[in-house]
Amino acid sequence: MDCNKVGELIRSLRREKGLTQKQLADKMNISDKTISKWERGMGCPDVSLLQELSQLLEVNIEKILLGDLAPNDADGGNMKKMKFYVCPTCGNILTATGSGETSCCGRKLTALVAHPADELHQLTVAKVENDRYLTWDHPMKKDHFISFVAWVTYDRVLLIKLYPEQNPEVRLPIMGKGVLYFYCSQHGLWMNKDLC
């Protein structure tokens, strides 16, 4: 751990939050001399203080330890670059259009890799009025089910969360060409491309 880099980051984040050294120190119940010492690279925060410092400065502990907040490359928010993440602990669904660190329940998550739909993981799409009516022949049991369906176009995403024992059907409004993603709780992420 490079205390100079850590100190520079702490100073930068403290100023970004509009806090003086004394205000940050008071929030952490430590002396402002301690904050000054960190910011001058004369020492690094004690491990017992990292979680509170992380919360106050709104930055990951790992980034504090690295002393670096390298920004992501701008992606213009193109929804076709959508990445899906599913927490293996709680089943939470997270999405992102750019790179970044995504975590849930204390675990770092990696983006799911979508596979082309196969015989076992296939959704049937029919047009009903102004909607796409999706059905599938897939278990919807507690230990094996389609967890979500997402329609992704260049400028929007419609994500529908599904639950075990729910009917295997969904209606999506027609929103132009896009990619249909669906997630099987046992076999991962699947997709159908360019449905109209």
pLDDT of 95-128, one tens digit each? 988 777 788 888 889 999 999 988 888 888 899 9
Positions of CATH 2.60.40.730 in the chain: 113-195
**pTM listed for this prediction:** 0.69
Residue 55 contacts by C-beta under 8 Å, 6 or more apart in sequence? none
pLDDT tens, 125-180?
A: 899 998 999 999 999 999 999 999 999 988 889 999 999 999 999 999 988 888 99
The second-level CATH assignment, the architecture, of 3-66 is: Orthogonal Bundle (1.10)
C-alpha neighbours within 13 Å on the C-beta side of residue 90: 9
Give 78's pLDDT tier (boundaries 50, 70, 90). Answer: low
Rounded distance, CA 116 to CA 80, Å? 16
Residues of the chain with CATH 1.10.260.40: 3-66
Please answer whether residues 21 and 33 qualify as being in contact, where contact means their C-beta atoms are separated by less than 8 angstroms.
Answer: no
* CATH class of segment(s) 113-195: mainly beta
Rounded Cα gap, residues 180 and 193, in angstroms: 6
